């Protein structure tokens, strides 16, 4: 169940649910809107729309609760679904599983960085760290918590989440292309992200401004939208960069096939599905050392890792790969091998179904 209408958790759900069904489970999806439900049905799934407007939309949630009856497992994929339907799932006798896709934006830079502090206003950061996380930790006691990365799992355990309920199961993806495509001229960089501060797209723009003097011509494609779009477009114009902001585009995975290099300069992440999608078509990745990214990208093998908030370091890493198509191709092939060995979607269904069976057999 997910009440979200876009982003990595939706992509993850539409990858996972068919795999679980193929492994032998009877799956019904409750989706954030009719469009996602239609996409799920096109994948052969039983799916319906279950829109919830906010975390206080109790009236709509109450209409959903009868639809949970008969389920052995209710698996939620966002905070709103967990908050409004978690207790109801337990009340009708189902086991509850919740996938923790990511921290609040203000906290994403904290895992693995002991000296880091929440971004934004201090009072809000304190509430999120010492209040909001404690509430989520209490909700986690209703069932099992699936976390895609070890980095976030360790952070949650250190902030009150019950370790025995945390299960690290990485997101997985299907291979779309075994060999990198032919190089483009100019070299095409691609970024897929919400245009919000924690994604670090402002750092990417500044890095691209530095690239003008140290690398061959490049074109940047940005897929995604958000509150910072107008400011980012203004900066691109100011620096006279060759860049296109596409907004939200259906089937963005197909657009990645047109790129030479994937870049994600986030200030913190869990286990980004966008990086998995890029690696699964043979794109090398330049990204930041934050959250679970280092569990995906092997520095120097499948891509290059840089420090967050470091436009010079990001520009240097991009310049290295922009100027070396053979190294890009070698990293792209290594990326596909990594997906095959560690993140292949064919294992996702069996892995999750094993967890479901384990929970159903448990007395707690």
Judge if 202 and 304 occupy the same domain: yes
Tell me whether residue 307 is exposed, middle or buried, using C-beta atoms within 10 angstroms of its C-beta: 0 to 12, 13 to 18, 19 or more. exposed
Whether 275 is covered by a domain: the verdict is: yes
162 and 212 fall within a common domain: no
d(CA 359, CA 245): 44
Question: Exposed (0-12), middle (13-18) or buried (19+): which is 40, by Cβ within 10 Å?
Answer: buried
Instruction: Count up the domains in the chain and report the number.
Output: 2
Rounded to 5 degrees, φ, ψ at 42 are: -65, -20
Measured in degrees and rounded to the nearest 5, phi and psi for residue 278 equal -65, -45
Rounded CA separation 241/218 (Å): 9
Give domain status of residue 1, yes or no: no
Cα 7 from Cα 271, distance rounded (Å): 13
Q: Rounded CA gap, 267 and 132, in Å?
A: 20
Same domain, 323 and 219: yes
Tell me if 2 is assigned to some domain: no
To which residue do tokens 């919000």 refer? 196
- For the CA atoms of the chain, what is the radius of gyration? 21
The per-residue pLDDT for range 252-310, each reduced to its tens digit, is 889 999 999 999 999 988 888 999 999 999 999 999 998 889 999 999 999 999 999 99
- In this structure, is residue 177 part of a structural domain? no
Beta bridge partner(s), residue 286: 263, 304
CA distance 232 to 281: 27
The per-residue pLDDT of the chain, averaged, comes to 92
Q: What is the pLDDT of residue 51?
A: 86
User: Do residue 229 and residue 350 come from a single domain?
Assistant: no
Same domain, yes or no: 166 and 271: no
- Looking at the structure, tell me whether residues 116 and 207 fall in a common domain: no
Q: Where are the alpha helices (DSSP H) in the chain?
A: 8-23, 34-42, 58-64, 79-91, 122-127, 133-140, 150-157, 201-211, 229-239, 252-256, 273-279, 311-322, 325-342, 348-361
111-140 per-position pLDDT tens digit: 877 788 888 899 999 999 999 999 999 988
Mean pLDDT of 18-44: 93
Whether residue 84 sits in one domain with residue 13: yes
Mean pLDDT of 201-209: 96
Classify residue 174 by burial, with Cβ atoms within 10 Å: 0-12, 13-18, 19+: middle
CATH number at residue 357: 3.40.50.2000
Do residues 268 and 155 lie in contact, with contact meaning Cβ atoms separated by under 8 Å?
Answer: no
One domain for residues 113 and 69? yes
* 136, 206: one domain: no
Which residue range is the domain that position 164 belongs to? 8-172+344-361
Residue 252 lies in a domain: yes
Residues 165 and 27 in one domain: yes
pLDDT at 363: 60
Percentage of residues in the chain having pLDDT higher than 70? 99
pLDDT band at 221 (very low <50, low <70, confident <90, very high): very high
Shared domain check, 93 and 47:
yes
Termini Cα distance of the chain: 22
Residues with Cβ within 8 Å of residue 289, at least 6 apart in sequence: 112, 305, 306, 307, 308
- Would you state the pLDDT for residue 26? 94
Is residue 226 domain-resident?
yes
Same domain (yes/no): 213, 357: no
Asked whether residue 178 is assigned to any structural domain, the reply reads no
Tokens 């095959």, located at residue: 340
In tens, the pLDDT along 149-178 reads 999 999 999 999 999 999 999 999 989 899
- Indicate whether 46 belongs to any domain: yes
């Amino acid at each position: 169940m997910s009440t979200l209408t876009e982003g990595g958790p939706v992509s993850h759900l539409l990858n996972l649910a068919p795999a679980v069904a193929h492994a032998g489970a009877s799956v019904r999806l409750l989706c954030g809107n009719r469009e996602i439900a239609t996409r799920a049905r096109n994948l052969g799934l039983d799916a319906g729309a279950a829109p919830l407007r906010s975390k206080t939309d109790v009236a709509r949630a109450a209409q959903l609760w009868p639809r949970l009856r008969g389920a052995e497992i209710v698996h939620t994929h966002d905070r709103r679904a967990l908050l409004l339907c978690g207790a109801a799932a337990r009340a009708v006798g189902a086991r509850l599983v919740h996938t923790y896709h990511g921290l609040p934006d203000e906290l994403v830079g904290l895992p693995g960085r002991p000296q880091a502090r929440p971004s934004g206003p201090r009072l809000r950061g304190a509430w999120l760290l010492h209040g909001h996380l404690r509430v989520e930790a209490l909700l986690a006691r209703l069932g099992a918590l699936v976390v895609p990365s070890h980095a976030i799992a360790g952070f949650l355990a250190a902030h009150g989440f019950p370790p025995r309920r945390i299960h690290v199961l990485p997101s997985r993806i299907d291979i779309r292309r075994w060999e990198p495509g032919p190089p483009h001229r100019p070299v095409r960089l691609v970024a897929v992200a919400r245009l919000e501060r924690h994604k670090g797209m402002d750092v990417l723009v500044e890095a691209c401004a530095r690239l003008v003097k140290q690398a061959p011509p490049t074109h940047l494609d940005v897929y995604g939208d958000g509150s910072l779009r107008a400011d980012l477009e203004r900066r691109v114009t100011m620096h006279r960069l060759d860049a296109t902001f596409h907004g939200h585009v259906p089937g963005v995975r197909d657009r990645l096939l047109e790129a030479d290099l994937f870049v994600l300069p986030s200030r913190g992440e869990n286990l980004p599905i966008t990086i998995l999608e890029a690696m699964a078509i043979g794109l090398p990745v330049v990204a930041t050392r934050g959250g679970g990214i280092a569990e995906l990208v092997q520095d120097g093998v499948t891509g290059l890792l840089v420090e967050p908030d470091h436009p010079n370091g990001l520009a240097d890493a991009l310049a290295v790969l922009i100027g070396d198509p053979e190294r890009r191709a070698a990293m792209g092939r290594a990326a596909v091998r990594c997906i095959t060995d560690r993140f292949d979607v064919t294992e996702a269904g069996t892995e999750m179904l094993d967890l479901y069976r384990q929970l159903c057999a448990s007395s707690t």
